[in-house]
Amino acid sequence: MTTLKSFQAEIAQISTEKQKLALKEAKEAHAAAELARHHGKIIKKEVVPEDLVEQDSTEVPLTDLVLSEGDGDLLRSKIHKALAKGHGELLLPLGAHPSPIHTYNPPEPPITPIPNEGTPLSVQKLNQILERLRTICSSLNTELNEMYRVEGTEGPFGVWLIRNKPKGVEQIMEVRVAVVGNVDAGKSTTLGVLTRGSLDDGRGKARVALFRHPHEIETGRTSSVGGEILGFSPTGEPVIPSAHGVDALDPHGHVMAVAKREKMGWEEICSRAAKVISFIDLAGHERYFKTTLYGLSGCAPDYVMLMVGGNAGLIGMSKEHLGVALALNVPIAVCVTKIDMTPPNILKQTVDMLVKVLRSPGCRRIPIFVNTPQQAVDCARFLGNPLGIRLCPIFMVSNVTGHNLPMLRTFLNVLPSSQSDDKYVVDAPFEFAISDVFSVPFVGTVVSGVITAGTVHTNDAVMLGPDSVGQFVPTAVKTIQRKRASVESGEAGQSVSFALKRIKRGQVRKGMVLIGRTETPPKAVKKFEGMVMVLHHASTIQPKYQAMMHCGAIRQTVRILSLDHPSGLIRTGDRSKVVFEFISHAEFIKEGQLILLREAKTKVLGVVTRILG
């Protein structure tokens, strides 16, 4: 019987191979289209200053250049190149760090301690390096921020963050975090406290501003895919309302009620921020599980934050949400809330159960309780790292007293940007997945989602589809907004909104795509083949079986036409090649895309291996 871990590794290999092949073809088509469009003219690109052009072709590691006292221009060029690769952000560890593999994953049985990583530095040497870096960062219009500094046995060590000062909203880094958990786990309250900078009053006042519908305010339950943002300035400070005062009579130092009602607009946050954390607040009630599942699949989150109430534990839909996040292979962080009101014995039971579940064979995660800036930064650096360090940071927080909230903000501040992921390729034909549709007065039809490939500018001609008969219709991008601020362009990895020309609201649905016009027209798919593994099913799955399929922003019922299995059917734990057919209408899917089938308690994970037409 195939394990989930080995099947996920096989999925990753299939996806990588398919994406590499598709990327090569896409880049060739993109280059040919650009050449034809410009009729042989030189395409204008961003001009890089001559002093930033790398003068030495040899690949010298950045840390070696930082430690040496050699060519300052070469170091400046290397830092500029690293910032461009990291989309405006670079984490730089200095000094002899304890090996993270040894620290967070101790070998069993004990062996000889693994030596520290990095070069030991004296206090004087480290100060000289930092002074040199400050001079270079000043010339590059960037900020050098100290995340933490520790006096170790072999000298001082720490991590410093170099971050660009964005010239506009187009250059702001973005990280998408899906917030899941059971009902009353404190999801909306925690987001309200994080984004507004004020503490809760103990009765959920911080969450009211996050609700989108009247029935959510009445019941106190989130039923839709909500969104909030938390901005961080170039210096790493959270962008929150500044008019905060502390009530001297309050023993916990709560922020006064006037600050709790204060709210910053997204435009103001983006004008002051260099990095934005986009929270996807998902529903916790079982009735809205399909909405939560769509948010985890269609909104393309980079990380999942699982909220667990300290007084209730890992119960109900929390386990379902954790299982989906594990199946989709999204890095997970856990927040245990309400620790101020939970009795110590109940809190210990919750923590013990959480650790047991995370260490179980189904999860295989290494729980790390974050209490220091060093732990917060290291967990952000190595979370989801392919080196095998499958960390799962746990934050014990209180929204009433503010316990550990600074550590959570530090962790979010240094999480890698979503645009740094290799799956988002800028040098490819434009492609955009629609996850939501609106009809805005005096604007027209507006669609929102994530740009999965390429770049787009205002007034660019695109194709919208597939419609109910599998056709793509021409349209154009009238305006572009990112985080409710108008921009002139967008690129792969960014979540944006488009106003479309000559398109009515009824012509658009979730799951459709916008594709740049190329010589080869896009094709809608009705049948496809996938490699699947049954995570859970009460009995057996046979041909003609129907279930709801989630594939990115697509959510539609599919029928199984045939199974490539000796017994002709599959059970829990089995894997097989399966031919699927969409029930309602054709969709735009590609080889290598992840698919998830759900029907009641049934869950089937898979990957698209072949398009059949």
146-159 burial, b for 16+ CB within 10 Å, e for fewer? Answer: ebbbeeeebbbbbb
Give the pairing of strands 391-396 and 366-369. Answer: parallel
Query: Residue 170: what pLDDT?
Result: 87
For residues 358 and 30, the model is more confident at 358
- Segment 575-592 shows an average pLDDT of 94
- Asked whether 586 and 611 are in contact (CB, 8 A), the reply is no
- Locate CATH 3.40.50.300 in the chain: 169-420
Bridge partners (DSSP) of residue 570 are 541
pLDDT over 90 (residue 418): no
Judged by DSSP in three states, 192 sits in: helix
Q: What is the pLDDT of residue 62?
A: 80
Q: Which amino acid is at 612?
A: L
Look at residue 101 in the predicted model and tell me its pLDDT. Answer: 56
CB 89 within 8 A of CB 161: yes
Alpha-carbon torsion angle 537, 541, 544, 545, nearest 10:
0
Q: Which residues pair with 499 in a beta bridge?
A: 446, 479
Q: Enumerate helices (H) and strands (E) in the chain, giving the number of each.
A: 14, 26
| Rounded-to-integer distance, Cα 57 and Cα 563, Å | 53
Q: What is the CA 137 to chain-centroid distance, rounded?
A: 28
Q: Is the pLDDT of residue 590 over 80?
A: yes
Q: Which of 487, 503, 307 is nearest to 396 (CA)?
A: 307
| Count of C-beta atoms within a 10 Å radius of residue 425 | 21
Per-residue exposure over 577-591, b if at least 16 CB sit within 10 Å of its own CB, e if not: ebbbbbeeebbbbbb
Q: What was the pLDDT predicted at 367?
A: 92
Mean pLDDT confidence for 51-73: 66
Tens digit of each residue's pLDDT (9 = 90 or more) over 462-489: 999 999 899 999 999 999 999 888 999 9
What are the beta bridge partners of residue 611? 528
E-assigned strands of 519-601? 527-536, 546-551, 554-564, 575-582, 594-599
For residue 290, give both structure tokens: 């399909």
Of the candidates 585, 608, 531, 556, the one whose C-alpha atom is nearest the C-alpha of residue 290 is: 556
Model confidence pLDDT, tens digit, residues 603-613: 899 999 999 97
Please check whether residue 346 is in contact with residue 303, taking contact to mean a CB–CB distance below 8 angstroms. Answer: no
Residue 59 CB partners (closer than 8 Å, separation 6+): none
Buried b / exposed e across 451-473, counting CB within 10 Å, b at 16+?
Answer: bbbbbbebebebbbbbbeebebe
User: Where is average pLDDT lowest: 30-39, 187-196, 494-503, 550-559?
Assistant: 30-39
Q: Lowest-pLDDT range, 92-101, 105-114, 296-305, 415-424?
A: 105-114
DSSP 8-state code for residue 587: B
pLDDT attached to residue 146: 94
Q: Please state, in angstroms and rounded to a whole number, the distance separating the CA atoms of residues 470 and 491.
A: 26
Domain 431-516 has CATH 3.40.190.10: no
Question: Tokens 């106190």 map to which residue?
Answer: 220
State pLDDT tens for residues 100-118. Answer: 655 666 655 444 455 667 8
In this structure, of 104-113, 123-132, 500-509, 586-595, the range with the lowest mean pLDDT score is 104-113
Residue 267: in which H helix or E strand, if any? helix 266-272
The pLDDT value given to residue 255: 45
pLDDT (tens digit per residue) in 345-370 = 999 999 999 999 999 988 888 899 99
Question: What is the distance, to the nearest Å, from the Cα of residue 538 to the centroid of all Cα atoms in its chain?
Answer: 33
pLDDT at 457: 95
What per-residue confidence (pLDDT) applies to 254? 43
What is the dihedral angle through the alpha carbons of 412, 372, 339, 409, rounded to the nearest 10 degrees? -20
CATH topology of domain 4-8+524-611: Elongation Factor Tu (Ef-tu); domain 3 (2.40.30)
Output b/e per residue, 258-281; b: 16+ Cβ within 10 A.
Answer: ebbebebebeebbeebbbbbbbbb
Spell out where 123-232 has E strands.
Answer: 142-152, 155-164, 173-181, 226-232
The CATH architecture that domain 169-420 belongs to is: 3-Layer(aba) Sandwich (3.40)
512-547 pLDDT, tens digit each? 999 998 878 889 999 999 999 999 899 999 999 999
Selection from 149, 154, 63, 67 nearest residue 115 by Cα: 154
Rounded CA separation 79/70 (Å): 14
Count CB neighbours of 327 within 10 A.
19
Calpha distance 314→20 (Å, rounded): 39
**How much is the average pLDDT of 278-295?**
80
**At residue 12, does pLDDT exceed 60?**
yes
* Per-residue confidence (pLDDT) for residue 4, from 0 to 100: 74
Query: Within 273-419, where are the H helices?
Result: 289-298, 317-327, 344-359, 373-382, 405-414
Under a CB-based contact definition with an 8 Å cutoff, are residues 587 and 525 in contact?
yes
Higher pLDDT, 286 or 489: 489
Q: Would you report the helix, strand and coil content of the chain in percent, each value rounded to 5?
A: 30, 30, 40
Q: Is the pLDDT of residue 404 over 70?
A: yes
Q: Counting every residue, how long is the chain?
A: 613
- What are the tens digits of pLDDT across the range 311-349? 988 887 888 889 888 888 889 999 999 999 999 999 999
CB atoms within 10 A of CB 346: 14
Angle at 498 between CA 493 and CA 504, to 5 degrees: 140
Identify the pLDDT of residue 394.
Answer: 95
The whole-number average pLDDT for the span 86-109 is 74
DSSP class of residue 541 equals B
pLDDT at 41: 41
Query: In which residue ranges of the chain is CATH 2.40.30.10 found?
Result: 4-8+524-611, 431-516
What type of residue is 443? V
Any idea which of 67-81, 136-150, 232-246, 408-422 has the lowest mean pLDDT? 232-246
- Residue 65: the pLDDT is 81
